Structure 1
């Protein structure tokens, strides 16, 4: 352990410009769109990466990185195997939170809400937009379940590739999309001396309410 860096001593100063209440859009989706566009321009490869946090009936939280594939007034969408750990947890407890972290811009966005499954047609459309190799992998894998060896999985992919050679690979009924319908957003902008700017949008009967949070 003597060679391990003392992580408690590590520091980082945030130097980005601040975020004021006057700069915020009244609609959090519009505000998110502004920040997403800036993130796409600065870091196009990683801008849509987001942490998806879920919890099942046992209450244990689970988090993983997934990719945002669509966002609009209806919600925020991603795609996966419904039989995966996150799929099982969302079936038991259809609530989740998304976290976007854009390090170079010193920004975070949290989005919390209820989750619903997209209809199969939407999942099927996106499935066939993916590269063939990704389609084969999704169809061959029972996501999150144990397997004896990587070779077994590779063999399944090869067999599917041969079965559907020259043909359309059918989208499995066990694979598709989810949509999170936001009830709360938080926009975080890093600032010097840890005096970060944080604004929370929360929805109630009168619409979106905005309040500044202490850092």
Structure 2
């Protein structure tokens, strides 16, 4: 695992703990959903910033020249998170393990945000040509299959993830990376 993945997992654990702590306070519905959405949004913003800085750091080391953070646009997903927190409330109440349900939102959201942001940085950078899947310390069967024995993917090809996935795209700086059907279609449609 990379230092970025270690820092990301620490951030994710903090987000999960904060979500579970809100559940334990037994707040009224409106207060709980508002605070949970705000907490997850804050951790998502930190995950996005961490992903951008990690990409710039990895590029700086690989290219041996300072690479600035790209400054990708921030996605305001507060309304979506509020809806997710509202939906989660009924499910958690009906469950024997509500803490796990609430914690899953706190855990999955920053992971997803970081993966999306890092993938966007790889795709938007003029320095990269592609990526390989950087798996977490204990990859699941699906992640190992997606890894494809370390296949190098073109940078326009999206990295698939699943809920709870801590894998990251590792930038590749080489030229002449073979296109996939997906990237060929993108190129054909943009012409």
Normalising to structure 1: TM-score of the pair?
A: 0.24
Looking at CA atoms only, which structure, 1 or 2, has the larger radius of gyration? 1
TM-score, structure 2 normalization: 0.26
Greater strand fraction, Structure 1 or Structure 2: 1
